C-alpha cells in the first residue's frame, strides 16, 4: 500500500516507508505516529524531498539515517504546533488565584520559576507572563519583585525562534482579554508584539524532553499540556515521573484537557482541579 494525493502528485509514501519514518521519529523524540498520520507525513515531508532534490521517500529515509541535521529538520516538520492565548483558561485562573497567594506567603528568597515545557510559538508562556503581571500596574509589581522567571522550551528550533520574536498576527489579539491586551501587548503593522515587561520574564531554549535536562533547580509550576498525547504509555510514564521530580514540593503540574496520567504518578500528586496536580509539601 502507498499514500499519495491525486491532487498534488509527487513521490509515493509506502507503508514500509511510513513505518521507517515513524520509527526514526520515535527514536529521536519518542513521538508515536498512528497509521492515519501517513498522509500528513507525506505532505509535510514532500517539501523536504524537493529541497534536497530527491525523487523518492526511500532516498529521503536513507538521507535522514546518515544526516543528523536533516533528521532534526524532519522532526521539526512533523511536530504539531497548535496553540492559542489563554487556552484552557482555568489553569491560569488557578495560577493567579491559588498559587500566587501561596508563593507570597511562602517567604522564599529564590525566584519563582515556571516552565512551559512544550511552548510551541509562545502563546502559553506569554499568557502565563500576562496572567502574573495582572490586570493593572499595581499587580505587576509583585511579579517584578518576586523575580519571576519563565522558561519556554520546545523541540522545534523554529518555535523557539518564534518565542524570541514574540510577534503574532491580528487574530491572536482577540484571544487576549482586556485589560491584559491593553497593558501587555503592543500593536504592530501586521499584528502585535508582547510588551517588554512580559518578554523580559521569558527565556526560550530548545529542548528534547527525553534528553538530559540541563538545570539543577526545581520549578514552582510546570505546564506540560497537549504534548503527552503524542507519546506511548511507556514514554508518558517516564516523562510524568521526571516532571514530578523537577517540581518543588508544593509546586503544581498542569496537563492538557484530554490527558490523564499513564503511570502511578497520580499516587504522588494531589488533584487540585481539572488536569491540575499539586506536589505534596512533604515530598522531596
Instruction: Report whether pLDDT(268) > 60.
Output: yes
The whole-angstrom separation of Cα 55 and Cα 60 is: 8
- CATH no., domain 2-78: 1.10.155.10
Rounded to whole angstroms, the Cα distance separating 163 from 124 reads: 10
Assign 217 a pLDDT band (cuts: 50, 70, 90).
very high
**Rounded average pLDDT over 50-56:** 93
Fold of 89-278: Rossmann fold (3.40.50)
**pLDDT of 169 higher than 60:** yes
pLDDT at 59: 95
Query: Long-range contacts: 194-201, Cβ < 8 Å, 24+?
Result: 194/122, 194/126, 194/129, 194/166, 194/168, 197/133, 197/140, 197/144, 198/126, 198/129, 198/130, 198/133, 199/126, 199/129, 199/166, 201/129, 201/132, 201/143, 201/148, 201/149, 201/150
Average pLDDT for 8-20: 83
pLDDT confidence bin for 6, thresholds 50/70/90: very low
Supply the DSSP string of 177-243, one letter for each residue: PTTHHHHHEEE-SSEEEE-HHHHTTEEEEE--TTS-----S-EEEEEE-S-GGGB-HHHHHHHHHHH
CB 24 within 8 A of CB 57: no
Mean pLDDT of 92-102: 96
Q: Is the pLDDT of residue 179 over 50?
A: yes
What is the predicted pLDDT for the residue at 183? 96
Q: Which residue has the cell 515530598?
A: 283
Q: Say what the pLDDT of residue 243 is.
A: 96
**What mean pLDDT is predicted for residues 11-31?**
91
Average pLDDT over residues 39-66: 93
9 pLDDT higher than 60: no
The predicted model gives 103-118 an average pLDDT of 89
What is the domain partition of the chain in residue ranges? Answer: 2-78, 89-278
pLDDT over threshold 80, residue 63: yes
Average pLDDT over residues 202-221: 95
Interval 80-106 mean pLDDT: 91
Task: Answer whether residue 67 shows pLDDT above 80.
Answer: yes
Lowest mean pLDDT among 49-58, 232-241, 258-267: 258-267
The stretches of 53-189 forming alpha helices (DSSP H) are 57-66, 68-78, 89-94, 100-106, 123-133, 137-145, 157-165, 170-173, 180-184
> pLDDT category, 284, cuts 50, 70, 90?
low
Amino acid at each position: 500500500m502507498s499514500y499519495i494525493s491525486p491532487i498534488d502528485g509527487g513521490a509515493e509514501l509506502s507503508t514500509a516507508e511510513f513505518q521507517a519514518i515513524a520509527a526514526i521519529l520515535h527514536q529521536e523524540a519518542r513521538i508515536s505516529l498512528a497509521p492515519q498520520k501517513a498522509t500528513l507525513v507525506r505532505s509535510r515531508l514532500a517539501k523536504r524531498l524537493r529541497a534536497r532534490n530527491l525523487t523518492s521517500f526511500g532516498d529521503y529515509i536513507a538521507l535522514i539515517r546518515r544526516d543528523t541535521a536533516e533528521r532534526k529538520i524532519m522532526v521539526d516538520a512533523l511536530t504539531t504546533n497548535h496553540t492559542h492565548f489563554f487556552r484552557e483558561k482555568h489553569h491560569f485562573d488557578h495560577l493567579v488565584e491559588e498559587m500566587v497567594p501561596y508563593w507570597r506567603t511562602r517567604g522564599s528568597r529564590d525566584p519563582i520559576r515556571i516552565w512551559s515545557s512544550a511552548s510551541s510559538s509562545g502563546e502559553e508562556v506569554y499568557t502565563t507572563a500576562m496572567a502574573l503581571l495582572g490586570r493593572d500596574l499595581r499587580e505587576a509589581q509583585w511579579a517584578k519583585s518576586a523575580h519571576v522567571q519563565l522558561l519556554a522550551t520546545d523541540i522545534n528550533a523554529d518555535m523557539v525562534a518564534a518565542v524570541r520574536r514574540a510577534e503574532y498576527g491580528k487574530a491572536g489579539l482577540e484571544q487576549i482579554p482586556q485589560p491584559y491586551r491593553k497593558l501587555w501587548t503592543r500593536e504592530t503593522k501586521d499584528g502585535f508584539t508582547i510588551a517588554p515587561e512580559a518578554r523580559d520574564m521569558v527565556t526560550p531554549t530548545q529542548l528534547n524532553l527525553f534528553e538530559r535536562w540541563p538545570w539543577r533547580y526545581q520549578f514552582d509550576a510546570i505546564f506540560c499540556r497537549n504534548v503527552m498525547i503524542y507519546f506511548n504509555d511507556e514514554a508518558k510514564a517516564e516523562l510524568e515521573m521526571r516532571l514530578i521530580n523537577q517540581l518543588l514540593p508544593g509546586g503544581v503540574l498542569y496537563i492538557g484537557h484530554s490527558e490523564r496520567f499513564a503511570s502511578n504518578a497520580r499516587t504522588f500528586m494531589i488533584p487540585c482541579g481539572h488536569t491540575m496536580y499539586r506536589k505534596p509539601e512533604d515530598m522531596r
